[in-house]
Copies of this chain bind each other. A is one copy, B any other.
Amino acid sequence: MKKWYTSSGNNSDVVMSTRIRLARNLHEYPFPARLDQKGETQVCEKVRDALFGGNSHMKDEFAYIKMDSLSETEAVALAEKHLISPEFASERAGRALILNKDESVSIMLCEEDHVRIQVMAPGLDMEGAYETADKIDTLLDSALGFAFDENLGYLTQCPTNLGTGMRASVMLHLPALTACGQIGKLASTVSKLGLTIRGSYGEGSETKGDFYQLSNQVTLGISEKAAMDNLKSITMQLVERERNLRKEMIGSAQIQDKIFRAYGVLKYSRVLSSAEFMELISLVRLGACEKLLDISQENISEVISAAQPASLILAKGENAETQQRDISRAELVRTKLG
């Protein structure tokens, strides 16, 4: 089964993916922070049954995974693919994950909220991702009854999610804006517009290889549509700026040299750290988007996903030390990269 992240979509030279996340809570249970073990089990099973109950199509499409059945490595590998939050991977007891086959839909149960519906789509596709999330939301709401207040909207454990409970985000590849030192200024500009830009693994994560996450911050007093339109409009402005800068840069022999050297090193290195890999693959992705290198974006996305530390360990079936992992990464990259 082809995973969602091995496809490309609209504007995917700059927008790698779109994500819609809805935070929901069952009205009859306390928030996860105050929920006991029994309550957690009930919440998880109620959501599972609401989704699967009498619906064989859903059962075929989705897997129900008790998080404590996973090893830490398996859980971290899911976080590396952005299917769950890093925090959800580290505390697995009492939690469950519902995941569809192409991994575009993942529902975390008993994360910060009872239910976190997350839908990913390649490229810029806010409407597509939202539509899927909305369907699941409607289905679960009608069966379970989500905590909702006429004035406040959806009730969430953390007040920053109150209202729509929606976080829409896009994963951006901004090598040109980064090279020109414009990210700092950008961050302060977008924050005035109700958005935040940060490293690709969300809150507190470091930027790796010029990949960023841009997301809406405001969930109260704004409709889902307005929030998405705002994010989309600013995203498209960034896309244009990034494209223009790329066009300016790409003619330079020095930039071309950096791109081709990055490709040469990825195709030949025998030891490759995660940080260096991200830096080089970013250059290669820039080269591929600008047609200097004949490599598909899908191939690059697949390699990025497979080269992350936990995914590598899983693929090799061993709990490798960093040194061995860096050797495995080099081997994987030179084999898989087009």
- A interface residue numbers (CB < 8 A to B): 253-254, 256-257, 260-261, 263-271, 323, 327, 330
Q: Which residues of chain B come closer than 8 Å to A263, judged between CB atoms?
A: 264, 268
Q: Which listed residue (B260, B266, B267, B327) contacts A269, Cβ 8 A?
A: B260
Summarize A's interface: helix, strand, loop or mixed. Answer: helix
A332 to chain B, nearest CB (A): 15
B268 engages A256 (CB within 8 Å) = no
Residue of B nearest to A293 (CB): B268
A260 engages B270 (CB within 8 Å) = yes
Number of copies: 2
| A61 CA / B119 CA spacing, docked (Å) | 78
User: Could you list 27 A-B pairs, sorted by A, with CB under 8 Å?
Assistant: A253-B270, A253-B271, A253-B323, A253-B327, A254-B271, A256-B270, A257-B269, A257-B270, A257-B271, A257-B330, A260-B268, A260-B269, A260-B270, A261-B264, A261-B265, A261-B268, A261-B269, A261-B270, A263-B264, A263-B268, A264-B265, A264-B266, A264-B267, A264-B268, A264-B269, A265-B265, A267-B268
Q: Which residues of chain B come closer than 8 Å to A269, judged between CB atoms?
A: 257, 260-261, 264
| A327 CA / B269 CA spacing, docked (Å) | 23
Q: Which residues of chain B come closer than 8 Å to A260, judged between CB atoms?
A: 268-270
Residue of B nearest to A259 (CB): B270
| A268 CA / B257 CA spacing, docked (Å) | 8
Residue of B nearest to A260 (CB): B268
5 closest A-B pairs (Cβ-Cβ)? A264-B268, A264-B264, A257-B270, A260-B268, A257-B271
| A266 CA / B270 CA spacing, docked (Å) | 16
| A267 CA / B261 CA spacing, docked (Å) | 8
Q: Which residues of chain B come closer than 8 Å to A264, judged between CB atoms?
A: 261, 263-269
Residue of B nearest to A266 (CB): B264
A335 to chain B, nearest CB (A): 13
Residue of B nearest to A327 (CB): B253
A141 to chain B, nearest CB (A): 54
| A264 CA / B267 CA spacing, docked (Å) | 7
